Amino acid sequence: MKTEHRSGCPINLSLEVFGDRWSLIILRDMIFGGKRHFRELLNGSIEGIASNILADRLKRLMELGMLTKADDPSHKQKAIYSLTEMAITLVPIMAHLGAWGRVWLPVSEELSIRAELLEKGGPPLWEQFMDELRHDHLGTPVAAAGRPSVRATLQAGYEAVVARKASSAGQAAAS
């Protein structure tokens, strides 16, 4: 574990945790994509991470206290990666980052719909989502009280965009 820091500045220390090209991508896929296994992360992310980089980052994120690893009871070889509270509290930062990117960068519609919904939901939605993550990753009991899960809402929004795009593409092809 690296214990030497460039400085005690909070922003610098945060950068030392996820100031690289892949760590936050992995956390994004775990948080918003529900990925828990090595292969899911390897094949599931659009950006195409290499397996050695993924293994290195998972190890590093565990050393930093952002992830934990456990055996999957259903498969002797499978490992389940879980978010810690430290990682779950990144949700507001992810939301802001997504909102900023939507304004200033050439985002694609399909991939930014989740960021848009997260932005519109605001802090109350983030809190509910973090509770759902705590339930899934930490085993915390959650009082979701009949509300539709944020995960389902985000997923439905994504599928709506994809369906609309497919529809308009079909129209374009038919004309």
Partner DNA sequence: GCAACCGATTGCAAAACGCAATCAGTTTGA
Partner DNA sequence: TCAAACTGATTGCGTTTTGCAATCGGTTGC
Q: Which residues bind DNA (CB under 7 A)?
A: 20-22, 37-40, 42, 48, 50-53, 55-56, 58-59, 69, 75-79
Helix (H) or strand (E) holding 117: helix 109-138
53 binds, among DNA, its own copies, none (CB under 5 to 8 A by kind): DNA
Is residue 31 within 8 A of residue 90, CB to CB? The reply is: yes
Residue 110 DSSP symbol: H
Choice between 39 and 147, CB closer to DNA: 39
Choice between 32 and 81, CB closer to its own copies: 32
Q: How many Cα neighbours within 13 Å face the side chain of 149?
A: 12
Spell out a b/e string for 32-41, using b for 16 or more CB atoms within 10 Å of the CB, else e.
bbebbebeeb
Question: In the bound complex, what is the minimum distance in angstroms from residue 13's beta carbon to DNA?
Answer: 15
Q: Does 12 bind its own copies (CB under 8 A)?
A: yes
Q: Taking CB under 8 A as the criterion, which residues in 103-162 touch its own copies?
A: 103-108, 110-112, 115
160 alpha carbon, distance to own chain's centre:
20
Q: Which residue, among 83, 149, 76, 158, has the nearest Cα to 116 in the 3D structure?
A: 158
Identify the residue among 43, 51, 89, 167 touching its own copies (CB under 8 A): 89
Residues 6+ apart with CB under 8 A from 33: 40, 44, 45
Counting residues that bind its own copies (by CB under 8 A) gives 46
28 binds, among DNA, its own copies, none (CB under 5 to 8 A by kind): its own copies
15 binds, among DNA, its own copies, none (CB under 5 to 8 A by kind): its own copies
* Sites of contact with its own copies (CB under 8 A): 5-17, 19-21, 24-25, 28, 46-48, 65, 86, 89-90, 92-94, 96-108, 110-112, 115
